[in-house]
Amino acid sequence: MSHSDPSLFLKYSDSSIVVLLLYVDDIILTESNPQIIHESGMSSCKPCPTPLKPHIEILLTDGIPLKDPNQYHSIVGALQYLTFTRSDIAHYVNIVDQFMNNPTEHHFFLVKRILHYLQGTLRYGFTYSASGPLLLSAYSDSD
């Protein structure tokens, strides 16, 4: 349990940290371990510079429906949790999440593209440490 927030629980191990946050009827659980790529069978994939191509048009009917959408559901669900520490993929995960009801091979290709991006950016994300002052900078375009 955190000393500053009684609803925040932390578990440390040698290689990762697990964070559980409880708030009324909401639970957020996340981990710093890169198993999302390993569990998808893509741990040796080549990295790519962007999660998806810019200005891509994706339709519900693009591609052949997946015979077994369970892996699609599992990976997209894990990606949703990953957005807590990887806000750079939030928009792209939202895009592929829109096809959860009837994912196709084309939609799964897009999910794999996000995994390729993650493979090249495993060290990205928000980290917080107790040493030194906390300085957070952000930029927003009013458009």
Measured CA to CA, the distance from residue 120 to residue 49 in angstroms comes to: 7
pLDDT tens for residues 130-143? 677 767 777 777 76
pLDDT interval class at 30 (50, 70, 90):
low
The pLDDT of residue 110 is above 90 = yes
Select from 106, 116, 124 the least CA-distant residue to 56. Answer: 106
More confident residue, 2 or 78: 78
Which residues lie below 8 Å from residue 115, measured CB to CB, with a gap of 6+?
36, 37, 40, 42, 45, 75
> Hey, how many other C-beta atoms are within 10 angstroms of the C-beta on 120?
14
Q: Which amino acid is at 63?
A: G
Domain ranges of the chain: 1-33, 34-120
pLDDT interval class at 20 (50, 70, 90):
confident
pLDDT at residue 38, as a whole number: 63
pLDDT at residue 5, as a whole number: 62
Paired sense of beta strands 26-31 and 17-23, if any: antiparallel
pLDDT tens for residues 51-108? 888 888 888 888 999 999 999 998 898 888 788 778 889 999 999 999 999 999 999 9
Are 93 and 52 in contact by the 8 Å Cβ rule? The answer is no
> Hey, how many other C-beta atoms are within 10 angstroms of the C-beta on 29?
12
- 86 pairs with which residues across the strands? none
pLDDT at residue 98, as a whole number: 94
pLDDT at residue 101, as a whole number: 94
Q: Which amino acid is at 131?
A: S
